[in-house]
Structures are given as structure tokens and as C-alpha cells.
């Protein structure tokens, strides 16, 4: 059985490879390499896969998942500049792919091992990435 909690957060980022010229950064990353950063309204779906607990009828108490997402993801990334404010991205480019991996690793450490975890991160209405640890 799979259950999901959805959250949204707003963050700024810049995709930039310091080993490349400004021209090459612009060519590869387009507007995402804008030196003054830009924002996204990220949508995060956290999917938990596990057995239904016979005592509660839940896979996981979604209130507990809500609290984990608030404490570990919203508090960390909402209204932040990912490049400048978040040590997770000091060396790592804050692409949707890498943000999803960082989020997955944070959440994995907070969830019981009996659960499988998958995160889906929408960077725009039309662009989404999914990561399940592989
Ligand atoms: Ni962007």
C-alpha cells in the first residue's frame, strides 16, 4: 500500500558550473544560470510504501509524516536561497535531480526501515523528477 503527503516550498537557486565560462553556462543552463538567481515554487510528493498496520489501519500516521516534512524540509528549504543558505548545496548543484536526492536522504534517515520511500519533486508545472534511492 502506498500513501503520499504533498507539500510546497519556495526556494531560489542558480545552476552554474564554476569551471565553465559565462557563455557556456548560459548555453547549458539558460535562464537557470542567471547570476542573480531565480525562484521556483517546488511541489514535493513523499510516497511511503509499506504494510497496513493492523492496530491503526494506517500505513503511516500522515500527521507524523506532516511533522517530519515540516521540520526537516520546509524549515530547511522554504524561502531560502539553496546555493547561499543551504550547506547541502555548497558543493552540489541545486538541480531538481540533486534536490530530490538530498530530500530523499534526509527523509530516509527519519523513517522506519519497514517503509519504502520515493520522492517526486516538481520544479515547474511540467517538469518533475522522481527518486527512490536508486
Ligand atoms: Ni531554475
Instruction: Answer yes or no: are the C-beta atoms of 116 and 107 closer than 8 Å.
Output: no
32 is catalytic: yes
User: May I ask the CATH class of domain 2-131?
Assistant: alpha beta
> How many angstroms separate the alpha carbon of residue 82 from the centre of ligand 1?
11
Over residues 14-53, the pLDDT tens digits come to: 999 989 998 999 999 998 898 899 999 999 999 999 999 9
Which of 32, 40, 86, 88 is an active site residue? 32
Instruction: Answer yes or no: are the C-beta atoms of 37 and 4 closer than 8 Å.
Output: no
Query: In this predicted structure, what is the pLDDT of residue 75?
Result: 98
Mean pLDDT of the chain: 96
79 is catalytic: yes
123 is catalytic: yes
Residue 69, pLDDT above cutoff 90: yes
Question: pLDDT band for position 133 (50/70/90)?
Answer: very high
pTM summary value: 0.95
The neighbouring-strand residues paired with 7 are: 44
- Residue where the block lists cell 542567471: 34
Amino acid at each position: 500500500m502506498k500513501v503520499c503527503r504533498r507539500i510546497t516550498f519556495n526556494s531560489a537557486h542558480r545552476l552554474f558550473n564554476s569551471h565553465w565560462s559565462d557563455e557556456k553556462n548560459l548555453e547549458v543552463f539558460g535562464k537557470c544560470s542567471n547570476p542573480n538567481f531565480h525562484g521556483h515554487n517546488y511541489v514535493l510528493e513523499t510516497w511511503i510504501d509499506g504494510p497496513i498496520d493492523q492496530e491503526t489501519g494506517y500505513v503511516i500516521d500522515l500527521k507524523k509524516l506532516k511533522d517530519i516534512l515540516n521540520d526537516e524540509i520546509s524549515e530547511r528549504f522554504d524561502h531560502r536561497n539553496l546555493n547561499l543558505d543551504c550547506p547541502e548545496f555548497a558543493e552540489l548543484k541545486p538541480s531538481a535531480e540533486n534536490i530530490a536526492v538530498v530530500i530523499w536522504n534526509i527523509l530516509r534517515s527519519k523513517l522506519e526501515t519497514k517503509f519504502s520511500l520515493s520522492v517526486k519533486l516538481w520544479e515547474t508545472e511540467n517538469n518533475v523528477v522522481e527518486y527512490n534511492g536508486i
